[in-house]
Structure 1
């Protein structure tokens, strides 16, 4: 068991920068979390209660919003409690679990956007084949893929990370991430030879999401070509694909910020700037995805307004 860490608790030193503004951050965070829960639940309930929305695209949107609730549950409750506390620590197991939940949610977002791109490709470029291809069984398979593939990959990464012997317990962030824990490894300076299985999983994850990114890009290139050939297709593209592109832009910016944090988070950048980079991936997609689809897709928007006015 020499290769297993003896660290039982981590210190989240990202809180050092916000000590003087804890109450303000608590109020803003609580408000943000309540808004995230509200907008995601509204979209999920609206789709679940309207049988006219039992179509592949809306089922994927519903799961995208559920995924947003799943990811934020791994961060906001703990963060709010920390803001009321004088001790900013997290247990070893809790740290690994938090990183697993947050990053599984982020990766699932990308998977759902990929399968939504595939659905739009079939619906617009091959409309006659869409119903025969996107059957209930196929939709269920794609939903399971979007949930289970990220969970499996990130779980494997977490298992390998848990086997590292650590020589530190200070995480310079507001929440945990596997790569931050790996940086505390006693063999971090000899990473390639000491944690080869972990590296293999990391490269598999990177290649997997590069493949999904290329697939999404190629799908929208083909969609754009189809839309130039038909005015009707152009209308479908504007109504249903533009929200997907906005959501894709949203998750891309959040992932870019997180990548910047991974690259520059341990340098001499101010801790406040590092916290901003870290929070973008927690705030952006879960908050703006349901707003994007709720406001831009008329079927969802009309149902929400109808139910709201009816209740009034």
Structure 2
């Protein structure tokens, strides 16, 4: 056990001197952030103001777009400040605030995707009972659980991490991560590791299993159903599956980086892999659904072209 020290700030050691290129990186990150804001806000407004889109599927999509805005806001302003700064440090309270934001974003994303797959399962497998099964109260309850449980889970996670006695303050990342802080601890971290495993199972594994189960049922109905049923399934499920695969691969990169030594990997590649699911998903999701969901695409096209 090392000597515990009072830590008031963390040093983010993954940053490196980019010289004059830092202004180029700043411009790229700022442009990406503005695109994310514009794309997600546009689709949120489209869903909210059009009564024809006040259906469960689109309400869950609206929740998804709100989460993309929430997650990207927890990262991009921080990245922009760090890119222009010569000293890459972050205070302990802000570090924990960022962990809360990013980790809850990930959890809400998986929960939201699981709820959306359940909605598609009911719509395709039980179309006649869909309207009576997916009532407004049930939709509201599912959205509430999608947001409330992740926030509660992260509060517990941080309440276990914050009392730890730390032997250092250097985090080898470009943003704060819970496991990166746990690795700095001098005190016993068995409870943190056990809860971290439970949190991963509940927030990632269980939603993925639910999605797998619903899609097995959907495929079974598609193979035995009519061509119209198959077309409906393909049109509504393709963007959902693409979004799920993109986000899952990004999370896998992040988990592997956190748990294993990646010092042999080039620094720039490490940074890009760690940022992938936090930067690509918020932009990928609205663009994908905006293009693939015909009702949203038509309304967006009318708005952008100035048609009534």
- TM-score normalised according to structure 2 size: 0.94
Q: Structure 1 201/5 Cα, relative in aligned 2: closer, same or farther at 3 Å?
A: farther
Q: Is 1:183 the equivalent of 2:183?
A: yes
1:282 is displaced (CA, Å) by: 1.2
Q: Deviations over 1:178-202 (max 9, x none)?
A: 1111111114xxxxxx223322321
Does the CA-based 8 Å contact 1:44-1:66 persist in structure 2? yes
- Correspondence for 2:142: 142
Does the CA-based 8 Å contact 1:153-1:205 persist in structure 2? yes
More helix by share: 1
Task: Give the match's secondary structure for 1:45.
Answer: helix
Q: Is 1:262 the equivalent of 2:258?
A: yes
Task: Give the match's secondary structure for 1:11.
Answer: strand
* Long gaps (5+) in structure 2: none
Q: Deviations over 1:185-234 (max 9, x none)?
A: 114xxxxxx22332232122122121211110111011011111221210
Does the CA-based 8 Å contact 2:56-2:139 persist in structure 1? yes
Does the CA-based 8 Å contact 2:235-2:293 persist in structure 1? yes
Does the CA-based 8 Å contact 2:167-2:184 persist in structure 1? yes
Task: Give the match's secondary structure for 2:290.
Answer: helix
* Long gaps (5+) in structure 1: 188-193
Does the CA-based 8 Å contact 2:124-2:229 persist in structure 1? yes
Task: Give the match's secondary structure for 1:278.
Answer: helix
Q: Is 1:227 the equivalent of 2:222?
A: yes
1:269 is displaced (CA, Å) by: 2.1
- TM-score normalised according to structure 1 size: 0.93
In 1: Cα distance, 2:301 partner to 2:5 partner: 53
1:281 is displaced (CA, Å) by: 1.7
Q: Deviations over 1:80-99 (max 9, x none)?
A: 11122211110001111101
- Correspondence for 1:238: 234
- Correspondence for 1:97: 97
Q: Is 1:85 the equivalent of 2:81?
A: no
1:264 is displaced (CA, Å) by: 3.5
In 2: Cα distance, 1:235 partner to 1:81 partner: 47
In 1: Cα distance, 2:18 partner to 2:219 partner: 46
Q: Deviations over 1:71-120 (max 9, x none)?
A: 11111111111122211110001111101101110111110000000000
Farther off after superposition, 61-70 or 276-285: 276-285
RMSD between superposed Cα atoms in Å: 1.7
Q: Is 1:126 the equivalent of 2:126?
A: yes
Farther off after superposition, 216-225 or 262-271: 262-271
Q: Deviations over 1:144-186 (max 9, x none)?
A: 1111111111221111110111111111111001111111111
1:4 is displaced (CA, Å) by: 9.2
Task: Give the match's secondary structure for 2:167.
Answer: coil
In 2: Cα distance, 1:267 partner to 1:154 partner: 28
Q: Which runs of 4+ in 1 moved over 6 A?
A: none
Q: Deviations over 1:20-77 (max 9, x none)?
A: 5211110100010011111111111110110110011100111101001101111111
In 2: Cα distance, 1:109 partner to 1:19 partner: 36
In 1: Cα distance, 2:221 partner to 2:20 partner: 55
Does the CA-based 8 Å contact 1:172-1:266 persist in structure 2? no
1:17 is displaced (CA, Å) by: 5.4
Does the CA-based 8 Å contact 1:157-1:201 persist in structure 2? yes
In 2: Cα distance, 1:257 partner to 1:27 partner: 25
- Correspondence for 1:309: 305
In 2: Cα distance, 1:253 partner to 1:266 partner: 17
